[in-house]
Copies of this chain bind each other. A is one copy, B any other.
Amino acid sequence: MSQGASVVPFEVDASCVAYATGERAKACTVREVLDRVGGKWSIGIIVEASQAPVRFTELERTVEGISRRMLTLTLRNLERDGLLTRTVYPTVPPKVEYRATPMALELYDTLVALTGWADRHRETIAAARDEYDREHGAAVA
């Protein structure tokens, strides 16, 4: 985190540059990737599927608030992007297991760091929000 540089266009690493410039053509943009991961339910699902293989209904209960539709959609997208594998067991009551791919597992630590950060600062953020609302007209929901 260099802050000394005064002129500093950006001394960021390649990934951030690619992110900022929206450099495409090659493959997915960093933004495209982040959009997928940053989806409302993706993180929760990836985290769950990183612990152990999970079944559809399991996720439906674990990831609170998700609708069946969104679970299906998110699952499909994550599978499409190679972040989850979907295994169907042709048993009589169908059984489908989702598990994180190595690529997704590699992301796990970062996600834990992210949720950890969020967790550590929630109160501070809530406080900041309250104060901001108090100073400025309030009511911003």
The oligomer's copy count stands at 2
Indicate with 1 or 0, residue by residue over A1-31, a CB within 8 angstroms of chain B CB atoms.
1111110111111111011111000111110
B19 lies within 8 A of A108 (CB): no
Q: A38-B38, A112-B13 are in contact. Are A47 and B19 (CB under 8 A)?
A: yes
Closest to A73 in B: B140
Indicate with 1 or 0, residue by residue over A92-123, a CB within 8 angstroms of chain B CB atoms.
00000000000101111110111111111111
Partner of A119, one of B14, B44, B117: B14
Grouping DSSP codes into helix (H, G, I), strand (E, B) and loop, the A interface class, with mixed when no group exceeds half, is helix
A interface residues, how many (CB within 8 angstroms): 80
List the B side residues contacting A14 at CB < 8 Å.
119
Q: How far is the CA of A6 from the CA of B13 in the complex (A)?
A: 40
A2 lies within 8 A of B51 (CB): yes
- Taking beta carbons and an 8 Å cutoff, which residues of A are in contact with B? 1-6, 8-16, 18-22, 26-30, 32-38, 40, 43-44, 47-48, 50-52, 58, 61-65, 76, 79-83, 103, 105-110, 112-129, 132-133, 140
